[in-house]
Amino acid sequence: MQTIVNAAMPHLLEMLGLVLTGVITWAAAKARQKWGIDIEARHRESLHSALMSGAQMAAAGNLSFDAAIRIILEHVRNSVPDALAALTPSGATLRNLAEAKLAEAQAEIIGRATDALTAKLRDAGAL
């Protein structure tokens, strides 16, 4: 029996090595996939945050639509160059995102102004 174990041991160790190599390769691929997704998500969040802060800045000014979009895109290029390099959005995509964020920022401003006016009218007894 000992002779069989001694004869089989090198083959068993070789098979164990192959199994461990496969498990390590699989785990490394999964880790790379997860961290790659996390990094992409952080870049996406950074891009959207920069778009929104640029839109808020542009909406606060008395700018034409095109000037506001230029301000937003300039802010994004200056704020998150790494995110732009990693995500490589097209110019049209960036412009569409900037337009959407500008509309969102303007809606926030209008909402705050409406709330303030409503509160004043309520305090004055007009509502």
Q: What is the pLDDT of residues 90-116, one digit of tens each?
A: 999 999 999 999 999 999 998 998 988
Give me the residue spans of the domains in the chain: 2-123
In the predicted structure, residue 57 carries a pLDDT above the cut 90: yes
HEC profile for the chain?
A: CHHHHHHHHHHHHHHHHHHHHHHHHHHHHHHHHHHHHHHHHHHHHHHHHHHHHHHHHHHHCCCCHHHHHHHHHHHHHHHCHHHHHHHCCCHHHHHHHHHHHHHHHHHHHHHHHHHHHHHHHHHCCCC
Q: What is the pLDDT of residues 1-13, one digit of tens each?
A: 677 767 767 777 7
The reported pLDDT for the residue numbered 92 is: 96
Over residues 40-62, the mean pLDDT reads 93
